[in-house]
Amino acid sequence: MTASSATLTSRVIPPFVPGSALRMLERSYLVYRRIWLLIFSGFFEPVFYLFSIGIGIGKLVGDVTVDGKAIEYAAFVAPALLGASAMNGAIYESTFNIFFKLRYGKVYDAILATPMQPRHIAIGEIAWSLGRGLLYATAFLVVITAFGYVHSAWAIMAIPAAVLIGFAFAAVGMATTTFMKSWQDFDLINMVTLPLFLFSGTFYPLNVYPHAFQVITRFSPLYHGVELIRALTLGSFDWSIAGHITFLAVMGMIGVAITAKRLNKLLLK
């Protein structure tokens, strides 16, 4: 067999390789490289919140006490907005865009005509979604560092923390999308993400809420992301960080498992 014929055979019947999901990332890159401004536009929302609430209202609020240390309100809000930007980037990509590809574009039906499997689609799309969250979070980290709202060198670890947040929300977002039947169902996404954004310790310390509300808030995945990034940017550490990381990692793995199972059911029926 000649080298050229071997190459042709490997393209038609390629062996299974764990990196097959990378083909989904390659496809997404090729699609979005000409509309990168559309992707990056989501970065500006947390910046607007930072200027309007963190800095604007922060002048009226004054300092906030965290672990016995007084910090300016903008420095308290900034890491929360960073976590929220990672959530938003991952959710936008893993819900609206995935729904179109799945229900209207029939993109995945064509992909499954190749040796790729639903699990490769799930992993590749989730990876691209968390990459969008990472892009937002990294750009926002540069902004808050420039404004002096980062109080610890550990803030560099906020980038992998943002990846973890993006992973959790992208996986669950894509899993949720596989159950949706129409565009109207996306009202439910907004109904969930907006309360998460407002009431996950984003703008106020958790101890200002009634006790019952504090208990409920601790089940918010964004709360765990916010507390994790806030600890890194402020240099305030305790064993609760392990709990935050575990919560987000388990959430992401459950989302991946559900997504792969649902894609098997929808695409291989």
Q: Residue 205 in 3-state DSSP? A: coil
186-202 core/surface letters (b: 16 or more CB in 10 A; e: else): eeebeeebeebbebbbb
pTM of this prediction exceeds 0.85: no
Distances (CA, A) of 151 to 85, 86, 188: 20, 20, 37
- pLDDT tens digit at each of 269 positions of the chain: 444 444 333 343 333 334 566 777 777 777 777 766 666 666 677 788 888 887 888 878 878 877 777 888 888 999 999 988 888 888 887 888 888 888 887 777 777 777 777 777 888 888 887 777 777 778 888 888 888 888 888 888 998 999 899 899 988 998 999 898 888 888 888 888 889 998 898 888 888 888 898 999 999 999 999 999 999 998 887 788 999 999 999 999 999 889 888 888 877 76
Give the number of other Cβ atoms within 10 Å of residue 30's Cβ: 9
Domain spans of the chain, in order of start: 20-267
Contact between 80 and 141 (Cβ < 8 Å): no
d(CA 249, CA 247): 6
| 70 beta partners | 65
Buried-state track 110-135, b at ≥16 Cβ within 10 A, e below 16: ebbeeebbbbbbbbbbbbbbbbbbbb
